[in-house]
Amino acid sequence: MIEVKGLSKRYGTHLAVSDANFSIKKGEVIGFLGPNGAGKSTIMNILTGYLSLTQGQVSIDGFDIMENPEEAKKRIGYLPEIPPLYIDMKVKEYLYFIYDLKKVKFPKKAHIDEIMKLIKIDNVANRLIKNLSKGYRQRVGLAQALVGNPDVLILDEPTVGLDPKQIIEIRNLISRLGKNHTIILSSHILSEIQAVCERVIIINQGRIIADDNADNLSNRLSNDCSIVARIDGSEKETLAALKGVKGVKNVMSLGCKEQGSFDFLIEPNDDVDIRKAVFECAVSKGKTILSLTSNKLSLEQVFLRLTEAGSYEEARKLLGFEDQETVEENMEETVEETSEVSQTEVKEEE
Ligand code: ADP
Ligand code: MG
């Protein structure tokens, strides 16, 4: 549905996006995750045809965004970081206006009514947008993106500035829309991405450092099925018993964290799940396991490790990828050649 190849964007001398490659299948819900300034909005603005690219190719449903912008844009609903609302208009009036702007062909009233019902803004249809709460305004922004029934929805930080209740409402709405749309949403908040998205594209300093589902990312980074067990009784005895468990490679005592018990970090051979064996071992020795936790990283930890890795190369190494360094060097050269064009472009944008 969406193909991005070798995408770069330069603002003057600043390379905001560098050699981004990804593809998104129909029906996928993808999260762009990255700290502020990573390049998320820039990529989204390019995908939606709002910003020209410096280098590379973007196609939506087979239509190139540069060569065939009308066809490509028809397939996309976009909610920019700051929704383009006309606050002196009433909700319905505004959506009718967007309908005309997009030159939609469906029956007007029925189409807009359907969207307002779906987004649950039919109760404020005749209210002025400026009198709505931030949560409602964001919903009107979403409704605007849905006008024309596009297959793809691109949502830039859709919950920023909302209170927790509103965040949950918008999130649920996005999950529902995800059932019959291809969605890309951006956020610098992990829980958000984790709650809604099937796949995560982590962006840092204009480069894609990872593209995978959250579990795989976590596995790649920690590549460890180690567990931490809190077991009552003597440290020495338990340590010896655990070392004898089949499939266990190494056991280390983490000391006493709760009176009468000790914590043990148990590392298995390869990817073996050793929880059952550890449990049986404890039972056979008359010991109680007070807690058993996986040492696996949360998406939050994955994200922090990757973005704090310092450089692209270090982040990739953390993920266990072997990259060819020449790819990046070639990129720098080719982008340089086109920088004259983008200089003029920046003037227009700023
Ligand atoms: P994000 O959405 O991930 O926070 P952006 O795509 O907005 O990041 O920005 C990426 C980088 O490009 C940042 O360093 C930002 O300062 C820069 N940038 C964004 N827009 C412009 C612009 N119009 N002119 C110059 N630099 C820009
Ligand atoms: Mg942004």
Which of the two residues, 121 and 272, has the higher pLDDT score?
A: 121
Q: What was the pLDDT predicted at 224?
A: 66
Q: Is the pLDDT of residue 31 over 70?
A: yes
Question: Among residues of the chain, what percentage have pLDDT more than 70?
Answer: 89
Considering 264-268, 287-291, 339-343, the range whose residues carry the highest mean pLDDT is 287-291
Q: Which atom of ligand 1 has the smallest separation from the CA of 12? A: 25
Q: Which atom of ligand 1 has the smallest separation from the CA of 34? A: 3
Q: Is the pLDDT of residue 336 over 60?
A: no
Q: Is the pLDDT of residue 112 over 50?
A: yes
Question: Among residues of the chain, what percentage have pLDDT more than 90?
Answer: 61
Q: How confident is the model at residue 339 (pLDDT cuts 50, 70, 90)?
A: very low
Q: What was the pLDDT predicted at 334?
A: 47
pLDDT tens digits, residue range 176-210? 999 999 999 998 877 778 788 989 999 989 999 88
Q: Which atom of ligand 1 has the smallest separation from the CA of 43? A: 6
CA 156 to ligand 2 center in whole angstroms: 7
User: Are 194 and 214 spatial neighbours (Cβ–Cβ below 8 Å)?
Assistant: yes
Q: Which atom of ligand 1 has the smallest separation from the CA of 17? A: 10
Q: Whose CA is nearest to atom 26 of ligand 1?
A: 11
Question: Per the structure block, which two tokens stand in for 206?
Answer: 């204009």
| Average confidence (pLDDT) over 119-123 | 92
Q: What was the pLDDT predicted at 303?
A: 75
CA 36 to ligand 2 center in whole angstroms: 7
Question: Per the structure block, which two tokens stand in for 63?
Answer: 């239509």
Alpha-carbon distance of 29 to 47, in angstroms, equals 15
In the structure, which protein residues have their CB atom closer than 6 angstroms to any atom of ligand 1?
11, 14, 16, 34, 36-42, 346, 349-350
| Average confidence (pLDDT) over 210-238 | 83
Q: Whose CA is nearest to atom 24 of ligand 1?
A: 11
Of 9, 14, 78, the one to substitute when testing ligand 1's pocket (max ligand atoms within 8 A of C-beta) is: 14
Q: What was the pLDDT predicted at 57?
A: 95
Alpha-carbon distance of 210 to 303, in angstroms, equals 10
192 Cβ contact partners less than 8 Å away, ≥ 6 residues apart: 31, 159, 167, 171, 185
| Average confidence (pLDDT) over 12-36 | 93
Residue position matching structure tokens 């830039």: 156
* Residues in the chain, total: 350
Q: What was the pLDDT predicted at 223?
A: 61
CA 291 to ligand 1 center in whole angstroms: 46
> How would you write the chain as a 3-class SS string?
CEEEEEEEEEECCEEEEEEEEEEECCCCEEEEECCCCCCHHHHHHHHCCCCCCCEEEEEECCEECCCCHHHHHHCEEEECCCCCCCCCCEHHHHHHHHHHHCCCCCCHHHHHHHHHHHCCCHHHCCCEHHHCCHHHHHHHHHHHHHCCCCCEEEEECCCCCCCHHHHHHHHHHHHHHCCCCEEEEEECCHHHHHHHCCEEEEEECCEEEEEECHHHHHHHHHCCCCEEEEEECCHHHHHHHHHCCCCEEEEEEEECCCCCEEEEEEEECCCCCCHHHHHHHHHHCCCCEEEEEECCCCHHHHHHHHHCCCCHHHHHHHCCCCCCCHHHHHHHHHHHHCHHHHHHHHHHHC
Q: Whose CA is nearest to atom 15 of ligand 1?
A: 37
Which of the two residues, 327 and 44, has the higher pLDDT score?
A: 44
pLDDT tens digits, residue range 231-257? 999 999 999 999 999 999 989 898 998
CA 281 to ligand 2 center in whole angstroms: 52
**Average model confidence (pLDDT) across the chain:** 87
Of 11, 46, 343, 344, the one to substitute when testing ligand 1's pocket (max ligand atoms within 8 A of C-beta) is: 11
Q: Which atom of ligand 1 has the smallest separation from the CA of 349? A: 23
| Average confidence (pLDDT) over 143-164 | 92
Q: Global pTM?
A: 0.75
CA 32 to ligand 1 center in whole angstroms: 15
CA 186 to ligand 2 center in whole angstroms: 8
Question: Per the structure block, which two tokens stand in for 258?
Answer: 């709760």
Q: Are strands 289-294 and 248-255 parallel, antiparallel or unpaired?
A: unpaired
Q: Which atom of ligand 1 has the smallest separation from the CA of 38? A: 3
Q: How confident is the model at residue 323 (pLDDT cuts 50, 70, 90)?
A: low
Q: What was the pLDDT predicted at 178?
A: 92
Ligand nearest to the CA of 45: 1
| Average confidence (pLDDT) over 114-124 | 93
Ligand nearest to the CA of 32: 1
Q: Is the pLDDT of residue 343 over 50?
A: no
Angle subtended at Cα 246 by Cα 240 and Cα 248, rounded to the nearest 5 degrees: 65
Alpha carbon 93 to chain centroid, angstroms: 33
Ligand nearest to the CA of 11: 1
Q: Is the pLDDT of residue 333 over 60?
A: no
Q: Is the pLDDT of residue 214 over 80?
A: no
Of 9, 18, 42, the one to substitute when testing ligand 1's pocket (max ligand atoms within 8 A of C-beta) is: 42
Q: How confident is the model at residue 92 (pLDDT cuts 50, 70, 90)?
A: very high
